[in-house]
Amino acid sequence: MTDDPAYFLYHSIGLYPGKAEEMASALTTFSQTWGATDDGQWPSVLGARAEFIDLWRALIDAPEGTLTSAENVTTALFSVLGGLPPDRLRGKKVLIAADCFPSLHFLLNGMQERLGYTLETVPVRQGDFWVRDEDMIAAWDENVGLTLLTFVTSTSSHRCDLDTLIAHGHRMGSLVGVDLTQGIGIVPFSLNDTPADFVISTTLKWLCGTPGAGIIQMRPDLIAQVKPELRGWFSQDNPFSWDLDAFDYAPDARRFEHGTPSVMACVGSVPALRWHAGQDGLADQNRALTEAVIARAGQAGMTLASPAEKDKRGGSVMLQLAQDVDARALVDGLRARGVHVDCRGRILRVSPGAVTTLDHVDRLFIGLKELLV
């Protein structure tokens, strides 16, 4: 095993230099605070969570009071669906692409009967690797109450044209949400330029954070209309008000909170968000490495399963393996060589990031040449 691993898993868990040490320090501070024999725990940890929220707000240019933490993108979407006025979705369609994050499709599919909408899934064309933007638009009429767009897909790294799709959705009178998960942190995104009605995401992947540290953000006028059914003491303006007859939603994004928040995940992700906020050149480095991956894949005769155009692609490159390749054995063989990738079916996922070098790209393709014989 090499002492210089080649890490290509930023589509899953991102790394940056010093991550383990910084996270350990943050969590040690948390444990010392939480284990102290005083009454300072809540002010301290809620302050750390507030920094998490502020770092996220700065990352996507979210107005104050429009963003809060969530356990993951699935609970975030559930809070949106369960809070919308009933006439927003009842009797209408909810639109999503077939190459979305499956967990979100599972949720939308399971809630359609109770909320009275019909889920329409736009398919991937035969021979393609991602849902085409024009096919989304063709399926998107005035009867679509809500569309959930995937910023960058996890199986092809296709980057949709958010500007065109959101503009079309608003012309149709639809609510438009965006799952930022696979793109945020490596592909620029700003709510100032891309006025989605709401966004959901995680601090994993390119942001290098921890599991359990998701977010939900919504435009202010829409927040005032939603009353999430998943609610609890932190949904209130004052979480420490325990008057059973006086529950009222917080006036801002805090109404999407419910029970005790997952503060430890937020604390553990703050170092990564601080690190990311201080970086320049991550996108340029990624572009150079992904172009090298594509060039070497072409030389090796491998099938590209991602857009060739850089402005239509996220930070990953996906390659389709031949029918006779044992994907699990291939991943295991590369791991034994100190090269870390993964597969979804026959799709090999390669995501170079902050700790990846051009030498690592060379080692990946040396390993592939040795194993694909």
Predicted confidence (pLDDT) per residue in 44-77, tens digit: 999 999 999 999 999 999 999 999 999 999 999 9
Give per-residue pLDDT as tens, 274-312: 999 999 999 999 999 999 999 999 999 999 999 999 999
* Same domain membership, residue 195 and residue 82: yes
* Same domain membership, residue 250 and residue 141: yes
DSSP-derived secondary structure for 19-54: HHHHHHHHHHHHHHHHTSSSS-HHHHHHHHHHHHHH
Query: Is the pLDDT at 2 greater than 80, yes or no?
Result: no
Give per-residue pLDDT as tens, 181-201: 999 999 999 999 999 999 999
Q: Virtual CA dihedral for 351, 357, 358, 360, nearest 10 degrees?
A: -70
| Contact (Cβ atoms closer than 8 angstroms) between residue 358 and residue 333 | no
Q: How far apart are the first and last CA of the chain?
A: 22
CATH assignment at residue 79: 3.40.640.10
Report residue 3's pLDDT band, with 50, 70 and 90 as the boundaries: confident
Q: Which of 184, 255, 185 is nearest to 220 (CA)?
A: 255
| Domain endpoint, select from 221, 254, 277 | 277
Domain span including residue 210: 23-277
Query: Is the pLDDT at 166 greater than 70, yes or no?
Result: yes
Q: Give percent of the chain above pLDDT 90.
A: 99
Looking at the chain, list the stretches that DSSP marks H as alpha helix, in order from N- to C-terminal side.
Answer: 19-34, 41-60, 73-81, 102-115, 133-138, 162-171, 220-223, 263-277, 282-299, 327-336, 358-371
| Contact (Cβ atoms closer than 8 angstroms) between residue 283 and residue 186 | yes
CB neighbours of residue 344 within 10 Å: 13
* Same domain membership, residue 241 and residue 145: yes
* Same domain membership, residue 323 and residue 263: no
pLDDT at 1: 53
Q: Which of 97, 69, 54 is nearest to 201 (CA)?
A: 69
| Domain endpoint, select from 216, 243, 277 | 277
* Same domain membership, residue 190 and residue 331: no
Query: Is the pLDDT at 355 greater than 80, yes or no?
Result: yes
What's the average model confidence in pLDDT over 314-339? 97
What distance in Å separates the CA atoms of residue 49 and residue 76, rounded to the nearest whole number?
17
Report residue 373's pLDDT band, with 50, 70 and 90 as the boundaries: confident
Give per-residue pLDDT as tens, 220-252: 999 999 999 999 999 999 998 999 999 999 999
| Contact (Cβ atoms closer than 8 angstroms) between residue 96 and residue 160 | no
Question: What is the three-class DSSP state of 17?
Answer: coil
Question: What is the three-class DSSP state of 352?
Answer: coil
What's the average model confidence in pLDDT over 6-24? 98
pLDDT at 44: 93
* Same domain membership, residue 118 and residue 40: yes
* Same domain membership, residue 82 and residue 204: yes
* Same domain membership, residue 63 and residue 105: yes
Cα angle value 368/371/373 (rounded, 5°): 105
- Count of domains in the chain? 2
Query: What's the chain's average pLDDT?
Result: 97
Q: Virtual CA dihedral for 19, 25, 30, 36, nearest 10 degrees?
A: 170
* Same domain membership, residue 259 and residue 338: no
Is the whole-model pTM more than 0.95? yes
pLDDT at 157: 98
> Is residue 237 in a domain?
yes
* Same domain membership, residue 184 and residue 106: yes
What's the average model confidence in pLDDT over 126-135? 98
Instruction: Decide the pairing of beta strands 303-304 and 317-320.
Output: antiparallel
**Residues across the chain:** 373
Q: Is 317 left (phi over 0), alpha (psi -120 to 50) or beta?
A: beta
Q: Give percent of the chain above pLDDT 70.
A: 99
Q: At what angle do helices 41-60 and 263-277 cross, to 10 degrees?
A: 40
CATH assignment at residue 363: 3.90.1150.10
> Is residue 85 in a domain?
yes
Instruction: Decide the pairing of beta strands 339-340 and 6-7.
Output: parallel
Give per-residue pLDDT as tens, 31-41: 999 999 999 99
- At position 288, the amino acid (one-letter code) is A
| Domain endpoint, select from 277, 309, 336 | 277
Q: Which of 353, 309, 318, 319 is nearest to 161 (CA)?
A: 309
Query: Is the pLDDT at 112 greater than 80, yes or no?
Result: yes
